[in-house]
Chains A and B, each alone.
Chain A
Amino acid sequence: MSNAARARLTGAMQRLATGDKRALEEVYRLTNVKLFGICLRILGDRKEAEDALQDVYLNLWRRADRFDPERASPISWLATFARNRAVDRLRTGKVRAGSVPVEAAAELPDAAPLADDLLIDAERAERVHGCLDTLDENTSDAIRAAFFGGHTYAELAEAQEVPLGTMKSWIRRGLAKLKTCLEKGE
């Protein structure tokens, strides 16, 4: 995000903890397009994604103290929170499992690009992409499908037609390599 937008969002997140309703509206205004894009991507259905998004902001309202500004940037935290809530919906069976097919989930999304001031961190995005590209293709595809599609080991194994144990060992090896690569960038 641009520094000005980031500062406005940080301020609004802090005011939220005092029960300021206008602060929630400001957080919503600054972030709903990005967070809805994330929910829609994971859930593949507008209605489900809207329910997930509502759940995100209501949770934020009730538990504003969950956000710790010393640990994460607000937009990074909110984007992660929205993704996790959307994935939770897949797991609780509220949504038909595998709404977004595994193959589609691995591809890079092509929805409307976001303005610069909504980006989490372009530089670090480049690094994590660079690290994923060092993995073999099956593994990086599987990790991307898990991240962008909310797919489980079992779904990934089925989609790539390999035994569950094979998929687990691909991904576990990939994650170990990814961690080493990501830590180099710190």
Chain B
Amino acid sequence: MTERDQFAAEYALGLLEGEELLVARARAAREPDFADAVAFWEAKLAPLLDDIGGAAPSPALWQRIEAAIEDAPASGEIVDLRQRLRFWRFASFGAAAAAVAAFALVLIQPLPSAPGPQTAEAPMVANIPIGDTDLRLAVTYLPDRREMLVSASGLTADGVHDHELWLVPDEGELRSLGVVRPGEEVRMPLDPGLAALIHNGSQMVLTREPIGGKPPAAAAGPVVAEGTFATI
């Protein structure tokens, strides 16, 4: 059995946790051969689920589901957004856990250039849900270091577009926070003028742009997701 088959089997069975689980999820999203290997195991093992007897949920459950879908757009209505976001495929757990892990990394490995006030100001985080997928783009800002961390773990590029993150200041034009790099955690220092605009409750938007980000002469592309910084 190849390493890939073995890892796929471990993932399909649910044996993995922590870092390995994140890696497996990312590979399932990015590597078609790995996804096929997972599907092989799922299909072969699925008949075992016939051994599990049935059980009736509470009769009220259907009403709960029905009420919840009243609030959610129907599949057909969001198909356009979905097509635009098809290449963003990842589970929220992966993105959230990766953000936490990457955040921990920031705290233990200060950039050499980071100015050094030792009193910590509370960090701010924003989780930006991508369309109706389970994906979250995780953004962490450390005010005392003026560093921002953008976690796009598990995201895959479509090869045609890039996505650019923007701060929506209280006044004035959008300020670019850079192009998101799919599958990467990016740490970046912010210049003081830009950093001063970020506060608890600041809004961000994500736009779809040509490769490389918004061309200087063009207007920003369509907004595909948005989020808000909150102090933690």
Main secondary structure of the interface of A (DSSP, over half): helix
Closest approach, in angstroms, between the C-beta of A150 and any C-beta of chain B?
A: 5
Contact of B15 among A83, A109, A146, A179 (CB under 8 A): A146
The reply to whether the CB of A158 lies closer than 8 angstroms to some CB of chain B is no
Whether B42 pairs with A80 at a CB distance below 8 angstroms is yes
Query: Within 8 Å of chain A (Cβ to Cβ): is B52?
Result: yes
Q: How far is the CA of A35 from the CA of B15 in the complex (A)?
A: 21
Interface string of A2-35 (1 = CB under 8 A from B): 0000000000000011110100110010001110
The reply to whether B61 and A54 contact each other, CB–CB distance below 8 Å, is yes
A102 within 8 A of B: no
Query: Is there an interface contact between A182 and B44, defined as CB atoms closer than 8 Å?
Result: yes
Q: Which residues of B contact A118 (CB under 8 A)?
A: 54
Asked if residues A38 and B14 are in contact (CB atoms below 8 Å), the reply is: no
Q: A148 CA to B50 CA in the complex, in Å?
A: 11
Q: Please, which residues of chain B bring their CB within 8 A of the CB of A143?
A: 13
Say whether, besides A28-B65, A87-B14, A19 and B50 are in contact (CB < 8 Å).
no
Pair A61/B16 contact, Cβ less than 8 Å: no
**What residue of chain B has the Cβ atom nearest to residue A174's Cβ?**
B9
Q: How far does the Cβ of A124 sit from chain B's closest Cβ, in whole Å?
A: 4
Q: How far apart are the CA atoms of A24 and B76 in the complex, in Å?
A: 13
For A128, the chain B residues whose CB sits under 8 A away are 44-45, 47-48
Residues of B within 8 A of A129 (CB): 48
Among residues of B, the one whose C-beta sits closest to the C-beta of A62 is B132
* B43 and A76 within 8 A (CB): yes
Q: Assign chain B's interface to a size class.
A: 35 or more
Q: Is the beta-carbon distance between B75 and A50 smaller than 8 angstroms?
A: no
A114 and B1 contacting across the interface, CB-CB below 8 Å: no
**Given A28-B62, A152-B17, also A63-B52 (CB < 8 A):** no
A and B contact pairs by CB, cutoff 8 A, 29 listed: A21-B69, A32-B62, A34-B52, A36-B54, A37-B52, A50-B61, A79-B49, A91-B14, A111-B53, A113-B53, A122-B50, A124-B47, A125-B48, A125-B50, A125-B51, A143-B13, A146-B14, A147-B14, A147-B45, A148-B48, A148-B51, A150-B14, A152-B14, A152-B15, A171-B10, A172-B1, A176-B6, A179-B1, A179-B9
Residues of A participating in the B interface, judged by any CB pair closer than 8 Å: 16-19, 21, 24-25, 28, 32-34, 36-38, 40-41, 46, 49-50, 53-54, 57-58, 61-65, 71-72, 76, 79-80, 83-84, 87-88, 90-92, 108-114, 118-122, 124-125, 127-129, 143, 146-148, 150-154, 156, 171-172, 175-176, 178-179, 182
Closest 9 CB pairs of A and B: A111-B53, A19-B74, A19-B76, A125-B47, A33-B54, A176-B1, A87-B14, A124-B47, A79-B49
